[in-house]
Structure 1
Amino acid sequence: MRLYGPTAPVELYPGVPATLVTSYEAALDVLRTPETFSKDPRRWRDLMEGRVAPDNPAVPMMMYRPNALFTDGEEHRRLRGAITDSLDRVDPIALRGYVERSADALIDRFCETGEADLLADYARALPLFVFNQLFGSPPEFGDRLVRGMSGIFDGVDAEKANAELTEAMIDLVALKRRKPGPDVTSWLMAHPAQLTDEEMLHQLVLLLGAGTEPQQNLIANGLRLLLSDERFAGSLSGGSLPVEDALDEALWTDPPMANYGVHYPVRDVDFRGVRLREGTPVVVSFAAANNDPTLVSDQRSGNRAHLAWSAGPHGCPAQNSARLGASVAIERLLDRLPEVELAVPPEELQWRPGPFHRALAALPVRFPPVAAESHRSVRPTLSRPSDEPSGDSRWNAPHPAPSVSTPPAPTSTARTSGSGSGERRRWWSSLARLWRGR
């Protein structure tokens, strides 16, 4: 594709033409100029004029939804403010403790068997448990959420998957209207932005996408590197766990969302030698931009200039916290199973289909069996006891809840890399921001 120059013509799916941006500098131009490139899919002319069928598998990933990902300007700021204000009410200490205990409980399920699929048994399950707990989602919703989101990303029966996911979210919104609790869903409803039920539904779809699929891919891709690349695998047995180095490498070479950041020119524009027509999809290849030959270096450790978090007004403003979530998951697993190794040669690992994500189909491993730590106080399952409370009252941060007389704090300006409190930032908030930056 690089033979075409900084951009290349592609078909995302049959009948869905787009322009793929493969150059690092060209990607920054798209991401940082909202006055020329809009995020609003209502500008997608091929869909609006019937040349792309509504049941095309690209549509659920690209269609307009009234959420912070697919809006610009003031509407974007209003919806983003509701999300960030609600997520900022989460006590990070209480949440981190739940994530760590959940990771241990998941490891307890397979640690005595000597083998596991770290994708299905760990990386996929952990973010879902966190979502269910954080958003007050009943455990019986779990299977519906997994089928719906996976089907949309994979493009396999995507229309049906989108319908199933939408139905589950409608049920969650209705439940929380009747019975609010100490959870993010209820806080979104009470926010001064006064979200409608439709807006609630689509903020939740956005947050589910942010908190599950990309995060599971980052965890799994980081583990794959640690277990297969001699630069990392060789140091595991020596007691040095280069998790941060592996995450740097994964974010450069295998970003969880390989191609996304869909934009639409607001007018015909000459861009890097190519005429882009108004309303045609321009897709940023984060993976291609990161691996632009002009940027290739043998040293990626500590280099955070990649575009895995996107950039510009929709960029992730809390990427350090997002990394923290993946680091905790990986470090916990390696601490409990220090002799874990791949069960197949690295080249035999399979990747899931789909034009947007970089996602393993499975990550089989083996290890010397170890005893489960049965004293763990939390053992999450997709069928929690029916009397377990939704959410957690400890998640309330020590400041007043938003009210109609308390305007949302400004949230449109990203923090500088040196601001905030580093690892103590609310890592779950960053998962939502990660998805919104695509």
Structure 2
Amino acid sequence: MQPDRTHSRPVALGSPIDIDGPRVALYTEEFAADPHRAYREMRRQYGSLVPVDLSPGLPATLVIGYHTAVRILNDPDHFPADPRTWQQHVPGECPVLPMLEWRPNALRSAGLEHLRYRQANVASLAEVDLHAMHAIVEAAAVPLINAFCGDGAADLISQYAFPLTFQVLNVMLGCPAEIGQQVASGMAAIFEGVNADKGNAMLSDALFDLVTLERKSPGDDVTSRLLAHSAELTDVEMIHQLVTLYGAGIEPQQNLITNTLLLMMTDDRFAGNVHGGSMSTRDALDEVLFTDPPLANYCVSYPRQPILIDDVWLPAHQPVVISMSGCNNDPAIGVSEFGPNRSHLAWSVGPHACPARSVAYLVVQDAIDQLLDALPEMRLAAKPEELTWRPGPFHRALVSLPVTFPKSPPLAML
């Protein structure tokens, strides 16, 4: 197959995969501690396309140019999301393989396969009752807040953001708590890259149990709607649709809640929901999605053939990773005088754009508002620079978010 030449300008750089010298490691504690400094240095040294390692010895190209990313995301013919050729040469014990490997779902498919899975997911999510979701979030939030409001201190990740997103997603998907706990443990191992292969197996077993249960006793939930869709998804296909829904529903939403709360507690522009400022929770959410999105680097594709992009040859069948964080902060697009606009890539764009955007916005905003309404004098219990960020090539996630507040009586239960 002949290389695809997209223009005739002289080639400035070789393939980021085969570049001489070290690639930028995205999995280190140093990168997690200050990724924005790293993106600035990448841009200075490499431009829009950067040679990186996703784990030790696993090369990829990271896209940090906004316009380049939009072009790639809207070109599934040249940049399909199917990784099967690539993964033939990846060791099974690779810690990030469960995040990248082929699955029969929309995220990891191309062409007609992608369309079939995508239509089933979009249709099933479109029937989520957004009005009812307000009550579901409140029903999860109130008991969690009551468990720590009398203590005067809490870790908002382990005591609030994670259990809330987990509980709400289980209700959306019709998943009983005992199955959901196995799902959460498996998904955590996959995102952390620690015992990821065992986590992958645990996740698959739990989701098979959920599919079996829902086939026997369908309900008014996303899983049942997927099963009833005209795509006639098999049990194996169902498991992998649910992998995507849980993967997008737990970790990114948890991180979006906590990263937004961090901004609101440390930036005077957003202090209104805490102690009297002027900008809304939605403004804070959009700022985080633009400047520090919870899934920082993802939207992976694998070029069908060598292709010339921005004077750089991208090799065939090697991962091209979109840095939503790097692209959103590209100086080429800037921000308005009113702050970041909503043209960010946090939800992706093109045929793989997130189909659950409206639901995610609602859950995260309601979770934040419930907490701040209950504990309006909440403060960060550490200096921002003392907080620790979890290492990993994909997420932007705090280890913990400690806060203090005046001890308060429990909220009235629904």
Q: Same fold (TM over 0.5)?
A: yes
Q: 1:229 aligns with which of 258, 267, 275?
A: 267
Q: Say if 2:258 and 2:401, in contact at 8 Å, map to a contact too.
A: yes
Summarize the Cα distance change of 1:131–1:325 in structure 2 as closer, same or farther, 3 Å threshold.
Answer: closer
Q: Say if 1:245 and 1:301, in contact at 8 Å, map to a contact too.
A: no
> What's the CA shift for 1:239?
5.7
What do the CA deviations read for 1:55-82 (whole angstroms, capped 9, x no partner)?
A: 1011000000000111122221211121
CA distance in 1 between counterparts of 2:51 and 2:237 reads 34
CA distance in 2 between counterparts of 1:116 and 1:277 reads 48
CA distance in 1 between counterparts of 2:144 and 2:386 reads 25
Superposed, which structure 2 residues align to 1:146-157 within 5 Å? 146-157=184-195
CA distance in 2 between counterparts of 1:317 and 1:141 reads 24
Q: Which amino acid counterpart does residue 24 of structure 1 have in structure 2?
A: Y
Q: Which runs of 5+ in 1 are unaligned?
A: 378-438
> What's the CA shift for 1:10?
0.7
What do the CA deviations read for 1:259-309 (whole angstroms, capped 9, x no partner)?
A: 001011111111111111110111111111111122333746461011111
The answer for the alignment partner of 1:406 in structure 2 is: none
Q: Say if 2:179 and 2:209, in contact at 8 Å, map to a contact too.
A: no
CA distance in 2 between counterparts of 1:241 and 1:101 reads 26
Q: Which amino acid counterpart does residue 413 of structure 2 have in structure 1?
A: R
Q: Say if 2:116 and 2:231, in contact at 8 Å, map to a contact too.
A: yes
Does residue 76 of structure 2 align to residue 34 of structure 1? Answer: yes
Q: Which amino acid counterpart does residue 183 of structure 1 have in structure 2?
A: D
The answer for the alignment partner of 1:306 in structure 2 is: 344
CA distance in 2 between counterparts of 1:325 and 1:181 reads 21
The answer for the alignment partner of 1:197 in structure 2 is: 235
Q: Say if 2:270 and 2:277, in contact at 8 Å, map to a contact too.
A: no
Does residue 205 of structure 2 align to residue 133 of structure 1? Answer: no
3-state DSSP class of the match of 1:65? coil
Summarize the Cα distance change of 1:87–1:316 in structure 2 as closer, same or farther, 3 Å threshold.
Answer: closer
Q: 2:127 aligns with which of 68, 80, 89?
A: 89
> What's the CA shift for 1:224?
0.6
CA distance in 1 between counterparts of 2:393 and 2:338 reads 25
What do the CA deviations read for 1:31-50 (whole angstroms, capped 9, x no partner)?
A: 11111111111132xx21x3
The answer for the alignment partner of 1:15 in structure 2 is: 57
Summarize the Cα distance change of 1:91–1:235 in structure 2 as closer, same or farther, 3 Å threshold.
Answer: closer
> What's the CA shift for 1:108?
1.3
Q: Which amino acid counterpart does residue 105 of structure 2 have in structure 1?
A: N
Q: 1:345 aligns with which of 360, 368, 383?
A: 383
Summarize the Cα distance change of 1:330–1:235 in structure 2 as closer, same or farther, 3 Å threshold.
Answer: closer
Q: 1:144 aligns with which of 182, 185, 192?
A: 182
CA distance in 2 between counterparts of 1:293 and 1:123 reads 32
The answer for the alignment partner of 1:102 in structure 2 is: 140
> What's the CA shift for 1:241?
5.5
CA distance in 1 between counterparts of 2:278 and 2:155 reads 24
3-state DSSP class of the match of 1:113? coil
3-state DSSP class of the match of 1:37? coil
Q: 2:400 aligns with which of 352, 362, 367?
A: 362
Summarize the Cα distance change of 1:321–1:175 in structure 2 as closer, same or farther, 3 Å threshold.
Answer: closer
Summarize the Cα distance change of 1:305–1:57 in structure 2 as closer, same or farther, 3 Å threshold.
Answer: same
Alignment RMSD:
1.7
Q: Say if 2:273 and 2:281, in contact at 8 Å, map to a contact too.
A: no
- In the comparison of the two structures, how many residue pairs are matched? 372
The answer for the alignment partner of 2:92 in structure 1 is: 54
Q: Percent identity?
A: 51
Summarize the Cα distance change of 1:269–1:284 in structure 2 as closer, same or farther, 3 Å threshold.
Answer: same
3-state DSSP class of the match of 1:303? coil
Of 233-242 and 334-343, more deviation after overlay is shown by 233-242
CA distance in 2 between counterparts of 1:301 and 1:198 reads 45
> What's the CA shift for 1:155?
0.9
3-state DSSP class of the match of 1:12? strand
What do the CA deviations read for 1:187-238 (whole angstroms, capped 9, x no partner)?
A: 2112211100100000111111121111111111100100122332377322
3-state DSSP class of the match of 1:296? coil
Q: Say if 1:221 and 1:250, in contact at 8 Å, map to a contact too.
A: yes
What do the CA deviations read for 1:369-398 (whole angstroms, capped 9, x no partner)?
A: 11102x413xxxxxxxxxxxxxxxxxxxxx
> TM-score normalised to the size of structure 1?
0.81
What do the CA deviations read for 1:321-373 (whole angstroms, capped 9, x no partner)?
A: 53232111111111110000011111111111210011111101010011102
3-state DSSP class of the match of 2:107? coil
CA distance in 1 between counterparts of 2:127 and 2:280 reads 32
Q: Say if 1:258 and 1:356, in contact at 8 Å, map to a contact too.
A: yes
> What's the CA shift for 1:318?
5.8
CA distance in 2 between counterparts of 1:298 and 1:156 reads 41
Q: Which runs of 5+ in 2 are unaligned?
A: 1-41
CA distance in 2 between counterparts of 1:248 and 1:134 reads 24
3-state DSSP class of the match of 1:284? strand
Summarize the Cα distance change of 1:235–1:196 in structure 2 as closer, same or farther, 3 Å threshold.
Answer: closer
Q: Say if 2:274 and 2:378, in contact at 8 Å, map to a contact too.
A: no
Q: Say if 2:120 and 2:229, in contact at 8 Å, map to a contact too.
A: yes
Q: 2:152 aligns with which of 80, 102, 114?
A: 114
CA distance in 2 between counterparts of 1:330 and 1:153 reads 24
Q: Say if 1:245 and 1:302, in contact at 8 Å, map to a contact too.
A: no
> What's the CA shift for 1:132?
1.6
Superposed, which structure 2 residues align to 1:335-414 within 5 Å? 335-373=373-411, 375-377=412-414
Q: Which amino acid counterpart does residue 69 of structure 1 have in structure 2?
A: L
Does residue 198 of structure 2 align to residue 160 of structure 1? Answer: yes
CA distance in 2 between counterparts of 1:300 and 1:182 reads 41
> What's the CA shift for 1:86?
2.1
Summarize the Cα distance change of 1:129–1:234 in structure 2 as closer, same or farther, 3 Å threshold.
Answer: closer
